[in-house]
Amino acid sequence: MTERFQIGEIAGTHGIKGDVKVFPTTDDPTRFKRLKRAFLETRDGLVSVECSGAKMLGRFVSVHIKGYESIDDARLLKGRKLYVDRKDAIELPEGSWFIPDLVGMQVETDEGEILGELTEVIQTGANDVYGVTREDGKEVLIPAIKECILDVNVDEGTMKVHLLKGLLDL
């Protein structure tokens, strides 16, 4: 399982005192208001940083990262990603999973056929769609709805699905 999750990508600066504008890659952007520690992507790997002063800016969040005290410092961070430890991740409701925990799962049908590997999660707004790559390289798209997703076992890396009529006819 993934030990760290990406929560945002730095899109630019905000103001002159070193604050950065972050594009959230989390389902809960308000989590930045409680964020005290994160990991910043650098050329040498992930570095632990202290965060404070989060403010919502429409679809972005302004955050101050300790040690980056000027606009010139903050400019250096553009394009860098922010991560949190799994233990600091938001608590998910029952029947929800972190995307990195799903990608790579072996997907099997309720009839015992190995369908393939879950290679992507497409977030549509209404419901997610799981992209499963078959052994022949073709992709099957499965809606992440209770009628199709019968069981998810993160510890074993497996998922059991029911294929609605027509899903394999493409």
**Stretch (H or E) spanning 106:** strand 106-109
SS3 category, 123: strand
User: Which of 151, 146, 147, 157 is CA-nearest to residue 118?
Assistant: 157
User: Which of 85, 90, 99, 86 is CA-nearest to residue 144?
Assistant: 99
User: Which of 163, 164, 157 is CA-nearest to residue 106?
Assistant: 157
User: How far apart (Å, rounded) are the C-alpha atoms in residues 110 and 142?
Assistant: 14
pLDDT per residue as tens, the chain (170 positions)? 678 999 999 999 999 999 999 999 988 888 899 999 999 999 899 999 999 999 999 999 999 999 999 999 999 999 999 999 988 888 888 888 989 999 999 999 999 999 999 999 998 878 899 999 999 999 999 999 999 999 999 999 999 999 988 777 65
What pLDDT is stored for residue 119 in this prediction? 97
**The tokens 């202290």 sit on which residue?**
50
b vs e for 38-57, b when ≥16 Cβ sit within 10 Å of the residue's Cβ?
Answer: bbbbeeeeeeebebeebeee
What pLDDT is stored for residue 1 in this prediction? 62
Does the pTM surpass 0.85? The reply is: no
Sheet holding 149-153, edge to edge: 139-143, 128-133, 114-123, 106-109, 158-161, 149-153
CB 14: neighbour CB atoms within 10 A? 20
What pLDDT is stored for residue 88 in this prediction? 85
Domains of the chain: 4-88 (2.40.30.60), 99-161 (2.30.30.240)
